[in-house]
Amino acid sequence: MAPFLLVFAVMAAAFASASGSGELTPDFYSETCPQALTTIKLVVGAAILKEPRMGASLVRMHFHDCFVNGCDGSVLLDDTDDMIGEKLAKPNNMSLRGFDVIDAIKVAVNTACLGNVVSCADILAVAARDSIVALGGSSYEVLLGRRDATTASIDDANDDIPNPFMDLPDLVDNFESHGLSLQDLVVLSGGHTLGYSRCLFFRSRLYNETDTLDPAYAAALEEQCPIVGDDEALASLDDTPTTVDTDYYQGLTQGRALLHTDQQLYQGGGGGDSDELVKYYGENPDKFWEDFGAAMVKMGNISPLTGDDGEIRENCRVVNQ
């Protein structure tokens, strides 16, 4: 057999062996593309160096992917004549961002791997972890081996992604429907240590929930978000929107929660359990980082496609032809 054919055969056999497993493993690409994770990290790092806000966007994209029919990369699919995907769903439209970074990662990984080896769903999971680390958080081991969906649903996205107006019981029900606990809800909400929200999503809280808002904080927000207009104006979710820390939890106890759903975690009718978790993570950053990593791994295990299900997309925006 010619040398290049032998190399191709070895790679194909290794990939077939890996993809035949139904289990997610941290070393899924160790034989088929050992440089995959390093390549993803480099592209994510460059994107965040250029725009630190991008880290929050990549974490959020992984969350929104996993909550709609599992962690299968469906959020990345563009609409077609036969399908309206998730990008235009209410929680995502004009809000979810970073698709160009995922495109760049996919091109770089395909080049490094000498072929289409790494799934878009796995890229989302690793990019979220690398974003957390790049912005000061602790690393955690990402399980790999997901495959990509061949369809997406705007209706499922509208139904399954929590919206920022939910009360605590509805949030708990939503998370439990995905196999996640109250503790997972509180610790994953700590992802709001990063990023911003649009006025459209916090205006109702700002002007109707004044009893749970610090007056000085509310006054500052009113300058950014008038009662009418400026829907796209941004405010940070905590005081350090490009640093992973526990200021988010401290803000919840001080009347500085930007979103209704955030304030619901503290004195939102959870019988004290969520209140205690908020205070605990605000006072114990090491435990937050440890538990956040574990919760991200748990979320990343929501209904993945493995084995022969789905596909490995050549281009994350479209199904393979």
Of 100, 126, 161, the one marking the end of a domain is 161
Chain segment 260-316, per-residue pLDDT in tens: 999 999 987 655 899 999 999 999 999 999 999 999 999 999 999 999 999 999 999
Same domain, 186 and 82: no
CA distance 247 to 41: 26
Residue 71 shares a structural domain with residue 131 = yes
Q: How many CA atoms are closer than 13 Å to the CA of 230, on its beta-carbon side?
A: 15
Task: Give the span between the Cα atoms of 83 and 57, in whole angstroms.
Answer: 24
Conformational region of residue 60, where left means phi above 0, alpha means psi within -120 to 50, and beta covers everything else = alpha
Categorize the per-residue pLDDT at 74 as very low, low, confident or very high, splitting at 50, 70 and 90. Answer: very high
Is 162 among the annotated ligand-binding positions? yes
* 314 has binding-site annotation: no
Answer whether 241's CB lies under 8 Å from 195's CB: yes
Q: What residues make up the domain containing 51?
A: 35-161
Report residue 28's pLDDT band, with 50, 70 and 90 as the boundaries.
very high
Residue 181 and residue 284 in one domain: yes
Q: Tell me, what's the pLDDT at 271?
A: 59
Token pair, residue 1, equals: 């057999």
The tens digit of pLDDT for each residue in 110-140 reads 999 999 999 999 999 999 999 999 999 999 9
Quote the percentage of the chain above a pLDDT of 70.
Answer: 92
pLDDT digit string, tens, across residues 36-62: 999 999 999 999 999 999 999 999 999
Closest alpha carbon to 140 in 309, 293, 37, 265: 293
**229 part of a folded domain:** yes
243 labeled part of a ligand binding site = no
User: Which of 101, 129, 161 marks a domain boundary?
Assistant: 161
Contact status, residue 288 vs residue 192, Cβ threshold 8 Å: no
- Binding residue per annotation — 245? yes
- How many domains would you assign to the chain? 2
Q: At 49, list the tokens.
A: 């160096």
The enclosing domain of 281 has a CATH number of 1.10.420.10
In a domain, 5, yes or no: no
Q: At what angle do helices 99-112 and 120-134 cross, to 10 degrees?
A: 110
DSSP at 145 = -
Q: What is the pLDDT of residue 267?
A: 87
Alpha-carbon distance 225 to 200, whole Å? 8
Integer Cα distance of 119 and 11 in angstroms:
16
Of the listed 62, 64, 178, 260, which one is catalytic?
64
**pLDDT at position 146:** 98
* pLDDT score for 269: 64
Quick check: is 64 catalytic? yes
Spatial distance between the Cα atoms of 169 and 185, rounded to a whole number of angstroms: 11
d(CA 56, CA 96): 10
Please state, in angstroms and rounded to a whole number, the distance separating the CA atoms of residues 65 and 223. 33
Residue 321 domain flag: no
Q: Are residues 280 and 173 in the same domain?
A: yes
Nearest C-alpha neighbor of 138 from the set 293, 301, 283, 277: 293
Query: Per DSSP, what are the bridge partners of residue 151?
Result: none
Residue 192 assigned to a binding site: yes
CATH code for position 46: 1.10.520.10
Phi, psi of 222 (to 5 degrees): -60, -30
The percent of residues in the chain predicted with pLDDT above 90, rounded, is: 90
- Does residue 238 lie in a domain region? yes
Q: Does one domain contain both 278 and 204? A: yes
* Average pLDDT of the residues of the chain: 93
Do 145 and 213 have their domain in common? Answer: no
Q: Is 180 exposed, middle or buried (0-12, 13-18, 19+ CB in 10 A)?
A: buried
Same domain, 293 and 210: yes
Question: Which helix (H) or strand (E) segment is 235 a member of?
Answer: strand 234-236
